Every structure is written in C-alpha cells, then in structure tokens.
A and B are shown apart, each in its own frame.
Chain A
Amino acid sequence: MAKIIVYIDDKKLEAESGKTILEVCRENDIEILTMCHLEGITDIGACRLCLVEIEGNNKLLSACTTKIAANMVIKTKTERIKKYQRITTELFFAERNHVCSVCVANGKCELQKLGYKVGLDHIRYPFLFPQCEVDTSHEWYVLDHNRCIMCTRCVRVCAEVEGAHNWDVMNRGNQVRIISDFNTPWGESTTCTSCGKCLHACPTGAIWPKDIVQGQLNKNPGMITELIEKRKLGL
C-alpha cells in the first residue's frame, strides 16, 4: 500500500493508504472511543462514539468506517466531539434498563467503563424503561435485551467468524432487537453452535453464561481477534 500523509490532532503522520482513521489512530496511540468496533470483524459505524472532525467537511464522520486520504486534517478531541460522545453515552443508558449495581458484568463492562471515561455523572434524557425480555432458553447462555446497546458485535462475530449467522436484527428505532434465527427463542435455534463467541464479543452484560454471578464474568473479546489473525495465517 502506498504511504500517505495525514494530520491528526496537529500531528503529521505517515500512514498506509486504504486504512481507516481508527486504524491509523490506534497505530499511533491516539485514543478513539468505540463500542461497536471489534478488531477483526467488519466495522459498521453503529455506535457513533468514534466520530471525528475532518477539515473541509461540516459533518462528523465515524473513524471506524472512514478511510484516510492524502493530507486529510483530522481532529479527534474537540469540544464538539466530546459533547457528542457524552450525549451518545447518556442515550445508551437512557434507552434500556442498565443497572450496574446488580448486573453480572459490573466491573467488567465496556459500557460502564465508557461512562467513567466520559465523566458520566447524570443522564439528562428521560429513561425509557422498556419492557425487555430476558431469553433464558439456551442451555448455557442468557440474552438480556435490557442490557443490549445494539452494537451488533454478536451478529457480526456469529456471521463472520463462526459462520453460523444465528443472530440478526429486527425492527427499527428504539424497538430494534437482536433476534435468534427468525425471532425464535435462542434455545430453539437451528443455527447456533453454542460456541460462545457472541458472549465474548458482547461489551455489556447482555449475553452471559447462565451459571455465574457478579464478579465471575470473564469476557475475552481479544480471543476473537486472535482467532481471526490465526486464520489469516492459516494456523
């Protein structure tokens, strides 16, 4: 790949053409907040946390889906970006029923860490308190829609890495839900291989093993990235 010059947060950087802004930032230790990104699977720009400002473009663009171009001038930490990161985080918490104190993922949750990161001390939007189903039908795992933030990492990892495509998405807006097969209970799925990759990909307590309690959750999304790398190397 050809090398091109980009400017990120006033730093002149040389990067390979074809890479995304997120990739270049991570290579150069420039912090970008993400939730829906998982190294190795397709990026979709769903969470809107990785928004960056690009000179000459009035829109904020997602760093995970925007490729760098020669002489691109990128800002990652403006007040405007911080404001939107805060809004996005608040909306994650307001949309469903996130109660960290009783969540199995308490202390191990990417959403909780994000809250701390953006300094979330209160939420300005009304909580929707939707009635969400807890799907306990699978023999080993639980899907709790109350804690899902629709990052769809489970959907992509199931389709792209496991090749099962058990998970998908139905509905729109705040009615959107992760579904198993054609919206059947997870335990009745004919495509799920019970591999558990979705559990490790899930950034919150939405997917978790049935027989553990708070303090015992051990998710390892890096294992998925490692699997993908090993496959690329034919290992």
Chain B
Amino acid sequence: MDKAEKRTVYISPVTRIEGHAKISIQLDADGKVEDAKFHVNEFRGFEKFCEGRMYTEMPTITPRICGICPTSHTLASVKACEMIQGTQPTYTANLLRRLMHIGQNLSSHALSFFHLSSPDFLLGYDSDPAKRNIIGVAEKYRDVAVSGIRLRKFGQELSERITGKKIHIMGIVPGGMAFPLTEENRKALLDWMPEAIATVQTGLSIIKRFHEENEQMVKTFAPIQTLYLGTIGPNGEHELYDGKLRFIDADGTILQDQINPANYLDYIAERSVSWSYLKYPYYKPYGFDKGFYRVGPLARLNICSRMKTPLAQQEFELFKKINDGKPVHGTFYYHYTRLIEALSDVEDAERILNDPQVTSTHIQHHGRWNYEEGIGSSEAPRGTLFHHYKTNETGKLLNVNLLIATGQNNPSMNRSVMEVAKQYVDGNHIEEGMLNRVESTIRCYDPCLSCSTHAIGKMPLKIEIFDTEGKPVHTLIRD
C-alpha cells in the first residue's frame, strides 16, 4: 500500500476581492486540514517613495493608494497635515468631508455586498462559478443588480457633486475644503434618498433571509474570538469620520476607551511574517499571540453603544440580540453589519444635506507648518486607518507610516481561513464549492490588498494544497 502523504491545496487567485492574494491549505496524511494561510503577494511601497515630499502633497498622493477608499486615505492624511499645522477644519468643511466619506463608504459597501458577495447568497455557493458573479446576478435578479450598481453610483456622486471627481477625489485640504457645495447639487443629492434607503433595505432583506435559511452555517462560519477596535463618538456612538478609539475584548469588556488616535502606537504594534507582504498588527498590551483584533463594520458595531440614526438603530438592536448584547464573533456577520452601516450612511447623508450650513462658503482655515509630527485616522470601509507623518522643519517628509484596516484584520483573516478550511475542505474529495467557501471567508472581510500592502493591481486568488514534503499537489487558479 502506498504511503499516505501530506498535501497542500492552493486557491489562487482569490476572486471577487480587491487585490492579489492566494490561500494555501496544508492537509495531513488523512486529508484533513492541518493548517491554512492567507498570503498577500503584492507590494507597492508608498511609505518609502513619499519620503522627501512636502507633507501638503500627501492628501493628493495617498488617495491613489486605492480606488475604493480614496476618501478615507485623504481624510486620514489631511488630519495628519492639520496636526502638523495645528489647524482645524471649518464647520461646513466637516459637513462636506462627512458627506464625501459617507459616499465612499456607501459605494464600497455596495460593491462588497451587491457586486462581490451577493452572487454567493443569491445564486448559491455551489452554483456554476462562471455565472457566480454580478453578471449572473443581473441575469437572474436584474432589479437587485441594478439597484446595487446605482447605490454605488450614488455614493460616488456624493463626491462628484462636491469636488467634481468620483474616485480619486480632490478638494479635501488641510484646514477644510477647496470647493463648496452648491444649492443645485445639494438638491440633486437629496433626490437620491428614497432610492438609496430602499436599496439598502433590499440588501438587508437578502442577508436576513440568507441568515434564516442558513442559520447553522452563518453561526458557525469562523466565529473567532478576537478583540475589536474602532472609532466612536463622545458618547460611544457609531462614528466613521472623526472620533476617539475604543478597544473591547471578546466578552465585550471595554479595554481602552476614548483613546486619541494620535496615541495609536501606545496600543498597536506590528510584526512581519515571511510568507506575506501584509504585516501582523496586534494589541500591544496583550502581546503578539493574544493581541489579535478585528476592525471594520463588524468591529464598529461590536464596540459602539448605539447608532446615530433611527432606522440604523432599529437594525443595530436586532444585531445586538444575536449574542445577547455581547460581541458577535461570526465572521459572516460582517455582511449584515456592512448593510446596517450603509443604512446609517444614507440617513446621516440626508441629515447633513438638510443642515443650513452645508452650502456655506466658509470652508477653509489656512495654516502653515508648525509641528514636526502629524497623525490622522479615519474609519475606512474596512476599518480603522492611520496615517503618521514625520517632517523636518521645512515640512519635508522624513518618515511615513500607514496602518491600514486590512492589515489589522490580517491575523484574523488567517485564523478565519483556517477555521473555515477545517470545517469545509475534505482533502480526499476536493470540490470547487468547498474552496469557494474558503474564499468567501476572505470576502467577508472585504479586504483591500492594494491598500494594505500599498500594492498595485487587481486581486484574484489561488488555493494550493501541499504534500508532506511541501510539493504542491493541487492548485485552483482563477484569473
């Protein structure tokens, strides 16, 4: 009888995510999953090539890190610049920035849910991979696909109607904004509200139905016990644009509250690993082994005490019931929390657009270089984002550190991949649907690897299976 061998399965490229990655699954001699890793195999180097530039260029350079969350990068960047100058944005500028940030969050969440993930929910994890995409959804559920695409359009229009650009936005400047919102554009944006609310509620009904029909799977889908980090308002309310940080543990106990983001290095440390370009950040007081934490919509809803808007608050209360008020650990709930945030986004956008000051032209305070160091943070769609700049006395950048949301989720993504692989992958009978479930673990986090590694390109994924001697025996690649 032949000797049993260890093998490794590769999923490469991982599909329907943003960036390049692969998953490797190590099988033991019996075909059981022994280990699984999420490898990010792209590199860009923004932190290095920004050195030597003027700090005021960073709000222009850093949105180019990513086409999905450019506004979050600009906001983190511009806040770091404002710390260097010692300036604050005007009231109206804050409103406009919030609107643009909401627009980006909505468009990213719509992309994640409707374009990338809904094919799994609407068509099935085991359906034909060739049709398991937004086109396949459009063929079978035309209205859902069109609504999802239009929600993304609305999100981008929020930026376009303020600054003239949909994606790599400009106009968010240290001290405020470069462009005001016109009355015509304010009205045009308000016209979107009923449709946007309806679309988010469609998404919510899809995910809730899926939860009902797949209760067991949803509850047991990588429910990893981690810490959570996110931004909150002064009263613990959900916050995306500006606020303080809160860390909670897996039981919901608040570990740190109302932390100034400028002190992030007191609480977060990073470590590199040899098999990925993505670093491993961790909560410093707990150390590398126990300090894994998660960020993003699930984390934000786990840490916050309430939502700021009524419809989102209703959904938030339902969400809180899932684990009797304790943090919800199931990775699958990222989708649900993403949609609750989207609901809050639309409601909040309406509130801001009805603020009488939103069309004011007092949009910028002017400042100059005053301090050598600046740190800014914002909640990107995928989680908390930090920009940290050090300059010389002329404003030239000496050091740039970008701590990206996907990077902070990296340890948890790895652990989730391992759990789902153990649950679904049978090394003796590898089927495409099994591997799709492993891929979909990654999609729950909606990672943006271009951001997190400051890397270039699109993001397919690959799953590899190795034998006991480390030779690949099975590889699944999708371009």
Contact B54 A142 (CB under 8 A): yes
Residue A28 at the B interface, CB < 8 A?
no
Contact B178 A213 (CB under 8 A): yes
Q: Which residues of B contact A187 (CB under 8 A)?
A: 394
Q: Is the interface of B mostly helix, strand, loop or mixed?
A: loop
Q: How many A-B residue pairs have CB under 8 A?
A: 55
Residue B367 at the A interface, CB < 8 A?
yes
Contact of A136 among B60, B170, B368, B394 (CB under 8 A): B394
Q: A102-B60, A210-B54, A210-B56 are in contact. Are A216 and B395 (CB under 8 A)?
A: no
- Give A208-228 as 1s and 0s: 1 = Cβ < 8 Å from B's Cβ atoms: 001111111000000000000
Contact B52 A134 (CB under 8 A): yes
> Once bound together, how far apart are the Cα atoms of A130 and B430, in whole Å?
51
Residue A137 at the B interface, CB < 8 A?
yes
Contact of A213 among B59, B64, B392 (CB under 8 A): B59
Q: Which residues of B contact A149 (CB under 8 A)?
A: none
Contact A136 B396 (CB under 8 A): yes
Contact B366 A134 (CB under 8 A): no
Residue B174 at the A interface, CB < 8 A?
yes
Residue A58 at the B interface, CB < 8 A?
no
Contact A101 B395 (CB under 8 A): no
Residue A104 at the B interface, CB < 8 A?
yes
Name B37-60 residues within 8 Å CB distance of A.
52-54, 56-57, 59-60
Contact of B369 among A133, A210, A212, A215 (CB under 8 A): A210
> Once bound together, how far apart are the Cα atoms of A174 and B59, in whole Å?
31
Give chain A nearest CB distance to B357 CB in angstroms: 22
Contact A216 B173 (CB under 8 A): yes
Q: A211-B368, A215-B179, A216-B178 are in contact. Are A134 and B171 (CB under 8 A)?
A: no
Q: B60, B174, B392 — which one has the most chain A CB atoms within 10 A of its CB?
A: B60
- Give B154-175 as 1s and 0s: 1 = Cβ < 8 Å from A's Cβ atoms: 0000000001000010110110
Contact A210 B368 (CB under 8 A): yes
Contact A102 B64 (CB under 8 A): yes
Residue B61 at the A interface, CB < 8 A?
yes
| Interface residues, chain B, with chain A CB atoms under 8 Å away | 52-54, 56-57, 59-61, 64, 163, 168, 170-171, 173-174, 178-179, 366-369, 392, 394-396
* Further pairs besides A211-B367, A216-B178: 5, Cβ < 8 Å: A101-B64, A134-B53, A136-B396, A212-B56, A215-B163
| Interface residues, chain A, with chain B CB atoms under 8 Å away | 101-104, 106, 133-134, 136-138, 142, 187, 210-216
Closest 3 CB pairs of A and B: A136-B394, A214-B60, A136-B396
